[in-house]
Amino acid sequence: MREGGKGKIAEEGVDVEYGGRRLRRGIEKDVEDGVCEELVKGNIEKGEDMVLDVEDGEIVVKARGGRK
């Protein structure tokens, strides 16, 4: 995860009233859903390395090019 991705998740996940709920929901929406969408589109393959970053203020998931 690039620093931009970490910062965006942390920024959106901070909430004094609700604690970690927003963080969990943000990870589900931005990370899990993003990975699933990219898998379905065929932009990444199962087992492929990915990177999370921020583009135009949104978290994006991209293939990094390597495989585990």
More confident residue, 61 or 4: 61
3-state SS of 10-51? HHHHCCCCCCCHHHHHHHHHHHHHHHHHHHHHCCCCCCEEEE
More confident residue, 13 or 50: 50
More confident residue, 4 or 56: 56
Tell me if residue 53 falls in helix, strand or coil: strand
H or E element, residue 4? helix 3-13
**Average confidence (pLDDT) over 25-39:** 86
Cα separation, 29 vs 67, in Å, equals: 24
Predicted TM-score (pTM) of the model is 0.68
